[in-house]
Amino acid sequence: MAMDDRKQRVLEAIVALYTQGGEPVGSGLLCQYFDMAVSSATLRNEMAALTKLGLLEQPHTSAGRVPSAKGYRYYLDNLMRPAPGLSARQKAEIDHIFAGLDYEPERLAAGAAAALADYSGFMVAATTPRADDLCIAHYEVVQVGRCTAAVLAVTSAGGVRTRVARLETDLTSEDAALLADVLNRGLTFVAPADLTGAVLANLAAELGQRGQELYPVLNAAAALLREAARARTYPQGLQYLMRWPELTGLLPRVLKLFTDDERAGRLITPRTGRTTVLLGEDLQRPLPGLCFMSKRYLAGGGLTGAIALLGPTRMPFEQLVPVLDYFALKLGECMAGKAQEDPQ
């Protein structure tokens, strides 16, 4: 059975009506949608045909139809027509939001996610930029206790990460200065893949007799370097996900998903530069009824990240695409330090 033009229009109409009301769509409501230009009998036949094709489902015997996961995928791939770009006023509102955010990469990713969640009314997740050659550009070692040092690392993307190292012996300010010097000479602009035990052993040798005692600081610095290439994922606006009754049972699994930065980041990062929608049914461990609308952002210097909206499959995709696209554009500009000042 082929998908002719009328079947496509009926599926498109049912998606639109289900998005608006969240209730199964019957032939009577569909007839009104088409301004009585198509009879109820014809629409019932088309709905039955679409159900047979697996594009619609009937929750109850006497109920109307709702789009199935297969139906949504067909709609997204063949029928969806995103709204035109945002108005000048909408862009100015979003520009103003970004002008008030902290531009440190990790705070910026979290802030942009929270802002988009409030702006759209959906849960949002954003990642920090990543690239295979991301490394540490500068180290600082600060004495924070008699036997404790804080190691601060500034990544080549501008992010700041810290780790605390505890020693078995006293740490002096001279030790901290020497450690910082050794780390900045030997461990900056080193790719994580090139970090070996021999490299750390050479750094320990440069510390002389104190090398073994100060080794925990070197170990902390090495851990920060390994972490640098891994993007962090920041989920925001979980409360908006709770608005949708069909997703209530999925909340614990969504929360668990975002406890693993790497897995969550892979999930929300699209394979292409286009805005993409991933349905929960498509996952290896399905999350029925949930979907992820994702967009990559470019942060310059080969760095990329992602920002995604999470919600039910009846999200108003057409209206959300230009909003997500503009947030991704602004996030990339801010990450690259290219954002303009807020004119207000």
pLDDT band at 340 (very low <50, low <70, confident <90, very high): low
- In terms of pLDDT, which residue wins out, 235 or 130? 235
Nearby residues of 165 by Cβ (< 8 Å), 6 or more positions away:
148, 149, 150, 151, 216, 217, 219, 220
pLDDT band at 53 (very low <50, low <70, confident <90, very high): very high
Distances (CA, A) of 280 to 123, 135, 159, 284, 325: 15, 34, 32, 9, 21
Summarize pLDDT for 201-211 with one digit per residue, the tens.
Answer: 999 999 998 89
Distances (CA, A) of 257 to 81, 247, 253, 263, 264: 31, 15, 6, 7, 6
| % of the chain surpassing 90 pLDDT | 67
88-130+231-335 CATH choice from 3.30.360.10, 3.30.560.10, 3.30.420.40, 3.30.450.40: 3.30.450.40
Q: What is the mean pLDDT of residues 212-236?
A: 91
Could you tell me the two tokens for 251? 């909340």
- Asked if residue 193 has pLDDT above 90, the reply is no
Q: Which of 29-33, 244-248, 281-285, 299-303 shows the lowest mean pLDDT across its residues?
A: 299-303
pLDDT of residue 89: 96
pLDDT of residue 341: 55
Q: How many helices (H) and strands (E) does the chain have?
A: 13, 10
Counted residue by residue, the chain has a size of 344
Summarize pLDDT for 111-155 with one digit per residue, the tens.
Answer: 999 999 999 999 999 999 887 677 899 999 999 989 999 999 998
Query: How far is it, in rounded angstroms, from Cα 167 to Cα 148?
Result: 6
Task: List the one residue out of 238, 136, 129 whose CA is nearest residue 189.
Answer: 136
Phi, psi of 62 (to 5 degrees): -95, 0
Q: Are 152 and 134 in contact (CB under 8 A)?
A: no
Q: What is the mean pLDDT of residues 281-306?
A: 90
pLDDT of residue 35: 81
| % of the chain surpassing 70 pLDDT | 97
Summarize pLDDT for 252-284 with one digit per residue, the tens.
Answer: 999 999 998 888 999 999 988 899 999 999 888
Summarize pLDDT for 307-317 with one digit per residue, the tens.
Answer: 999 999 999 99
pLDDT band at 163 (very low <50, low <70, confident <90, very high): very high
pLDDT of residue 16: 93
pLDDT of residue 240: 95
Could you tell me the two tokens for 340? 């303009």
Q: What is the mean pLDDT of residues 50-58?
A: 93
Q: Which amino acid is at 240?
A: Y
pLDDT of residue 233: 94
Summarize pLDDT for 316-330 with one digit per residue, the tens.
Answer: 999 999 999 999 999
pLDDT of residue 181: 95
DSSP 8-state class, residue 341? P
Q: What architecture is the 5-79 domain classified under in CATH?
A: Orthogonal Bundle (1.10)
Q: Which amino acid is at 125?
A: A
First-last CA distance in the chain: 58
| Strand order from edge to edge, sheet including 160-166 | 136-145, 148-155, 160-166
Count the Cβ atoms, other than its own, within 10 Å of residue 30.
21
Query: How far is it, in rounded angstroms, from Cα 157 to Cα 103?
Result: 11
Could you tell me the two tokens for 243? 């608005």
Whole-number CA gyration radius for the chain: 26
| pTM, 2 dp | 0.80
Q: What architecture is the 136-228 domain classified under in CATH?
A: 2-Layer Sandwich (3.30)
Domains of the chain, residue spans: 5-79, 88-130+231-335, 136-228
pLDDT of residue 153: 94
Distances (CA, A) of 172 to 167, 184, 253: 11, 19, 47
Q: Are 220 and 229 in contact (CB under 8 A)?
A: no
DSSP string for residues in 243-296: T-GGGGGGHHHHHHHTT-HHHHHHHHS-SSSS-EEEEGGGSSS--TTEEEEEEE
pLDDT band at 303 (very low <50, low <70, confident <90, very high): confident
Could you tell me the two tokens for 336? 């690259």
pLDDT band at 339 (very low <50, low <70, confident <90, very high): low
DSSP 8-state class, residue 79? I
Nearby residues of 266 by Cβ (< 8 Å), 6 or more positions away:
none
Count the Cβ atoms, other than its own, within 10 Å of residue 264.
22
Q: What is the mean pLDDT of residues 214-219?
A: 95
Query: How far is it, in rounded angstroms, from Cα 156 to Cα 138?
Result: 8
